[in-house]
Chains A and B, each alone.
Chain A
Amino acid sequence: MAEHTHHYTPTEVEEWYQFSPDSRRRLILGMLVGLGLLIVGAFLVSKGWGIGIEPVHEGVGGHAGGAHEGGEHHETAGWLKRVIANLWLNSVLFTGISVVGMFFVCIQYLSWAGWSSIIKRVPEAFPAFLPIMGIVMLALFFLFKHDLFHWTHEGLYDPQSAEFDPILNGKKEFLSQPFYIFRTVFYFAVWYGLWRMLRKTSIREDELGGAEHWYRMKNISRVFILVFAVTSSVCAWDWVMSIDSHWFSTMFGWYMFSSWHVTGVAVITLAILYLKDQGYLQNVNDSHLHDLGKWIFAFSIFWTYVWFSQFLLIYYANLPEEAIYFRERFTGYGGIYKAPFFINFFLCFVFPFLSLMTRDAKRAGVFMKVACWGVIIGHWFDFYQMIMPGAVGADASFGLIEIGSILLFASGFGFVVNSQLTKASLVPKNHPMLEEAFHHDI
């Protein structure tokens, strides 16, 4: 191996990330500005001075079971529902991005991947955001469950009540609040717990070296993949599908997982590109980028496949209780969801499909950045049109509230991940397959 051998010592490849005071300030400012925009936006909308597309109250096309039903509940103001739904949307999206960091690392261990050893510290930092998301989601549920979830109203399950709902009564074992809260706590506890185990082992590998850490992380990955196979589906029913309480889709678990997955990998890739721009991870070459690009390309198509399959089954069977979901999105509420629906399709399929098709595009940092941003924004719209019609209905719009809450969550996520990145060397110096990653060439 005269030509190929690159002798390195672990201390040479060690890289410590500095979370500069500048970026720290910028991210805190981002959170404050986001919060400010959210409050200002909410205030303006509550006064009827909303900026953005005016909500249309007439011509409600269909309703798959939102909080409008059941007359005697006091009606929450539209602007407040919009704020709550936005916080929920971003919580679900950023929980997904965080947990996909763990999922990505686990796949690498299970598939004996060597190429990714050099970048694995980036996704490995993401799940540090999970506890915050868990607390936010539980708090939102406790405070505003009636605004988000129609099924939380007690009267629906009481045969004596005027608003008794036989359909929801049939699902009452699953849609019971204690069980729901238990499930949400369970997801976060198991995901975070397994991540802590993996992270600890990963850092111990840096200190001590030796292949036994690699095998231990592989075992943790096995457990996580098994757990995630079930929890990723069930949490999609809990957190998103149950907003449209009467409606269900057997594709939904996969649909939301595929959305999470491709968004997560796009965020991982962006993080790596920005770290490279700052002078870190210089051993990440265009072949690594090419692999990440293929990943995003492939899973954009996978998302489209699942998205379209869900649509086609419902369209073809044309059962009223299923078809109403798309009816709401195409023509409901004066057609306000038509634009997000097609923006979503364009940014999540057409754009990455065409822009990442060639080999050269996948190897060029600029192209990848643009494509990643497109995918991330596209999947925000994906969650928008999953959550908003059921939770907000005609009061949904796009304005300061939306921009503010995105900014708030994204800056918070950035802050936590940046802090986590400083806690270990960016290059796992004792990873047994590091040499392979240095010479990655495809």
Chain B
Amino acid sequence: MDTSKKFLVGIYDDEDEVLLAVREVKKQGVKIHEVYTPFPIHGLDKAIGHPRTRIPVAAFLFGTLGLATMTAMTVWMMGYDWPIIVGGKDFIALPDFIPPMFEFTVLFTAFGMTFTFWITNGLWWGKKAVMFDLRSTDDKFVMAIDLSRNKLAQADITNVLKNSGAIEVNVKEIV
């Protein structure tokens, strides 16, 4: 079965040009897969139209989970499983539990966000990096167009990219 995908790759050599090009290409009705740049460009993700990340929601949920976990742990351990009198306090002395509760909230949030980020971005061990053009790690700005997701013909899209200022347009198959 052929699982490869065909992409058109436009190469630009200026960050402002690629930002203008993104708007121009979208205006022509071409769907952009992704733009790869050597450094972050302000407003680029907004221009491409990527939906906003939902990672804060994940962060909140993981934080709540961490808080609940440590609350349950301390209350069960100190209150029921093996009660010990410490400093004459109650077995379930909530103020004492707040530092570990806080720490677990932070820990779960940090690890949860990191792993969520890796999973949603398909970054796992042994993963082969998808490089549309190696020069996007140096001094070129690379716009990738997924042909299977566009209705326009390949030649038309090539023209759109050229007209928007691409210095070259290549075809790339990604397995």
B-contacting residues of A (Cβ < 8 Å)? 1-4, 308, 311-312, 315-316, 318, 357-359, 439, 441
Contact = CB atoms under 8 A, between A and B. Distances in A.
Contact of A359 (B19, B56, B95): B56
B95 A312 contact: yes
B96 A308 contact: no
B16 A312 contact: no
A286 to B, nearest CB: 13
B126 interface: no
A89 to B, nearest CB: 27
Q: Classify the secondary structure of A's interface with B.
A: loop
Nearest to A311: B95
Nearest to A305: B102
15 contacts: A1-B16, A2-B16, A2-B17, A2-B20, A3-B16, A3-B20, A308-B98, A312-B98, A315-B95, A316-B95, A316-B96, A318-B88, A357-B60, A359-B56, A439-B42
B51 interface: no
Nearest to A1: B16
A308 B42 CA distance: 40
Interface residues of B, number: 15
Secondary structure at the B interface, as helix, strand, loop or mixed, is helix
A312 B42 CA distance: 44
Interface in B36-68: 42-43, 56, 60
B29 interface: no
A4 B88 contact: no
Contacts of A357: 60
A1 B20 CA distance: 11
B16 A4 contact: yes
B87 interface: yes
A316 B60 CA distance: 30
Interface of B: 16-17, 19-20, 42-43, 56, 60, 87-89, 95-96, 98-99
Contacts of A312: 95-96, 98-99
Given A312-B95, A316-B95, A439-B42, 7 more contacts: A1-B16, A2-B16, A3-B16, A3-B20, A312-B99, A359-B56, A441-B43
Nearest to A309: B99
Contacts of B43: 441
A3 B42 CA distance: 11
A437 to B, nearest CB: 14
Contacts of B20: 2-3
Contacts of A358: 56
A349 to B, nearest CB: 12
A312 B96 CA distance: 7
B98 A318 contact: no
A313 to B, nearest CB: 10
A311 B99 CA distance: 12
A363 B46 CA distance: 16
A303 B127 CA distance: 44
A312 B43 CA distance: 45
A439 B43 CA distance: 11
Contact of A3 (B19, B56, B95, B96): B19
B42 A441 contact: yes
A316 B56 contact: no
B89 to A, nearest CB: 8
Q: Which 6 A/B pairs are nearest by Cβ-Cβ distance?
A: A3-B16, A2-B16, A441-B42, A315-B95, A312-B95, A3-B19
Contacts of B42: 4, 439, 441
B12 to A, nearest CB: 13
